[in-house]
A and B are shown apart, each in its own frame.
Chain A
Amino acid sequence: MDIKKLQQLREWRDRQARKEGVEVFRVLSNQTIEEIVLNDIKTEEGLLGVKGIAEKKLAKYGREILTIMNSSSDVVLDREQGGRASQEIIEQGGSDEKVFSVSVFLDLVNTGLRTFEVKIKGEVSSVDERGGNYYFGLKDKEDGSTISCLIWKTNYRLAGVELTEGMEIMIHGFPGIYKPNGRISFQADSIELVGEGALKKQYEELKKKLADEGLFAPERKKPIPLFPHKIGLITSRQGEAIFDFRTNLGKFGFQIEFFDSRVEGVQAVPALLKAVKYFKNKDIDVLVLVRGGGSLESLLSFNNEMLVREIASFGKPVVSGIGHEQDVSLVDLVADRSCSTPTGAAKLLSYSWEQALARVNLYEKDLFGRYRKVLSDRRYELENSASRLRRSFSAIFEHFRQLEIRLKEKYLAIGAGLKSSAQYLAQAGRTISLRFDSLLAQAGERLDRAEAAIKTNDPARQLALGFSLVRSGGRIIKSVEDVRQDQEIKVELQDGEITSSVTNIQIK
């Protein structure tokens, strides 16, 4: 590695960060700078392939980075009016007889040592906490060799391991010389417990602690929405998990926002935390964390307390699909739904969509089936009614027919009756006529006899014979008792009437 280029880039990065008033890693991280120098990247395309540089950073810093990478170290430093160490190198003209100040020398040594990123395993021999940062000794169990180590508080919290003397650990980081005292120390950025037993113990303790806080309680679980559409996906670009997830996710037009994250190793926890935080305010329906299977040791990141708490406080439903051989990871326990594999997580998200399809088919069958039955029932009812009507009309017609027959019979009977009556009447007429004639003759005879009798008894005839009729008050006097003394009476004679008065009454 070109140490000078490394130094130049770091100095430029530090100046730039000061100028912008941001932390240095916001401009470029040490890792990014080292990757650029290590791979001797001198083109824009090359820079885009470096982790930590995207289009935005390329546009902002690309020209200056490439100027440094494509120029002679001395010239660039001169033009950039770089740091004291580089200036002193230039002052020495780049010759073999360089003379450095102590500080510059230590800077150069530290720059070199920075590249010795390693993992060290040992036993904690001492622990000292100052301002949240931890200073500890790490001792070789075989021969007692010891190195001083430190871990900054942020990384200590991330590690989730509580350092105690005698604990066997594995740390990751790089060595450096502490300039004020010239002693070498190891700057750790992660701590892991060593040994299945220790890991298991740590896992169980943390699990109990978080469970006691209620982080795994069923009532905290958020329901997975029906028909999730926007999915935040966190996993590694490299693993099979992403392939399994995408392959088994149904094609329902999902919008997947994928955040590439390490899922194993020392960088996994900060990477996963970063990814989860990225999605915190994003418009997604569900967040998915998937990873292929692994041992308890390889799944350490998913048992990290900070990650578990970050997921517990995530506002949207979280689905985990983390393969495991034995113990379920704590991320699985805190997730709103956990699946045993990335494939399971994909199928879970597709489930409501697939079910919807089945339900639509079922509803279609049900709805049309029911209506067909309604129509069928109505047709049957209509046919039944028509049949009943036909039967009813037939009965009515039959009744009319019978009535007609009876009517005809009656008509004929009446006709016959009438004919008979006419004959009878004709006969009766003749009989009556004969009888009438007879009666008339008899009546004539009787009249003749009556006339003769009348003639015989006619008063006028009697008057003519000398008899008279005596009346008083219009009444015929038949007895002396019918008159009184001096009563006026009228005597009718054949040829007139005499008015007289009763002068004497003599009874016989």
Chain B
Amino acid sequence: MSNKVDLSDSLKKLAELVSWFENQKEVDVEQGLAKVKEGAELIKKSRERLKEIENEFEEVGKGLEV
């Protein structure tokens, strides 16, 4: 269920992709297209993880003496 590493990683990679465009003096169209494709995939996966998922709630420690 948990894929927080993937999400952190995806956001980091997306930031790097945006930086790549920022840092290029002249963007090669083919290279740019490859970067955009990679970004689109990351955005799709991130959105998948960030969509509304019901929380799981479990009571623990019942029966433990205080």
A residues within 8 A CB of B53? Answer: 251-253
**With an 8 A cutoff between CB atoms, is A98 at the interface?**
no
Q: Once the chains bind, are B18 and A370 in contact (CB under 8 Å)?
A: yes
Interface contact A246-B57, CB-CB below 8 Å: yes
The verdict on A127 contacting chain B, using a C-beta distance below 8 Å, is no
CB pair A371–B65 under 8 Å, yes or no, is no
Which of A53-61, A100-108, A297-305, A442-450 forms part of the interface with chain B?
A53-61
Q: How far is the CB of A174 from chain B (nearest CB, A)?
A: 17
Is A259 an interface residue, CB under 8 A from the partner? yes
Cβ-closest chain A residue relative to B29: A378
The interface residues of chain A lying within 8 Å CB-to-CB of B27 are 370-371, 374
Is A253 within 8 A of B65, CB to CB?
no
Point out the residue from A55, A275, A353, A364 that lies within 8 Å of B61, measured CB to CB: A275
Interface pair B4/A278, CB less than 8 Å apart: no
Q: Give the distance in Å from the alpha carbon of A229 to the alpha carbon of B4 in the complex.
A: 8
Does A271 have its Cβ within 8 Å of any Cβ on chain B?
Answer: yes
Tell me, yes or no, whether A363 is within 8 Å of chain B by CB: yes
A488 at the interface (CB under 8 A from B): no
Asked if A249 CB lies within 8 Å of chain B CBs, one says yes
Contact status B62-A54, CB under 8 Å: yes
Which listed residue (B11, B14, B52, B63) contacts A367, Cβ 8 A? B14
Contact bitstring B14-43, A, C-beta under 8 A = 1, else 0: 110110011000010100110110010001
Asked if A360 contacts B57 (CB within 8 A), the reply is no
* Interface members, chain A 316-371 (any B CB < 8 Å): 353, 356-357, 359-360, 363-364, 366-368, 370-371
> CA of A228 to CA of B8 in the docked complex: distance in angstroms?
11
Complex Cα–Cα for A129 and B43 (A): 67
By beta carbon, the residue of chain A nearest B27 is: A374
Q: Is the CB of A258 within 8 A of B21?
A: no
Contact B11 A274 (CB under 8 A): no
The chain A residue sitting closest to B13, CB to CB, is A363
Give Cα A151–Cα B48 distance, bound, in whole angstroms: 57
| A451, CB-defined interface residue at 8 Å | no
Contact of B4 among A226, A251, A360 (CB under 8 A): A226
Contacts of A254 in B (CB 8 A): 55-56
Smallest Cβ distance from A44 to chain B, in angstroms? 14
Bound-state Cα–Cα, A256 to B7, Å: 20
Chain B residues with Cβ below 8 Å from A251 are: 52-55
Q: Is A274 in contact with B63, judged by CB distance below 8 angstroms?
A: no
Report A223-260 residues with CB < 8 Å from chain B CB.
225-230, 237, 246, 249, 251-260
Residues of B within 8 Å of A374, CB to CB, are 21, 27, 29, 32
A271 to B47, CA, bound (A): 40
**Smallest CB separation, A361 vs chain B (Å):** 9
Q: A254-B56, A256-B57 are in contact. List 14 more A-B contacts (CB 8 A).
A: A53-B63, A252-B55, A253-B1, A255-B2, A255-B58, A256-B58, A257-B60, A260-B61, A278-B64, A359-B14, A360-B43, A371-B36, A374-B21, A374-B27
| Chain B residues with a Cβ under 8 A of chain A | 1-2, 4, 7-8, 11, 14-15, 17-18, 21-22, 27, 29, 32-33, 35-36, 39, 43, 46-47, 50, 52-66
20 A–B contacts from the bound complex (CB under 8 Å):
A25-B65, A52-B63, A227-B4, A228-B4, A230-B2, A251-B53, A251-B54, A258-B60, A259-B61, A260-B59, A260-B62, A353-B50, A356-B7, A356-B46, A357-B50, A363-B15, A367-B18, A368-B36, A370-B21, A371-B27
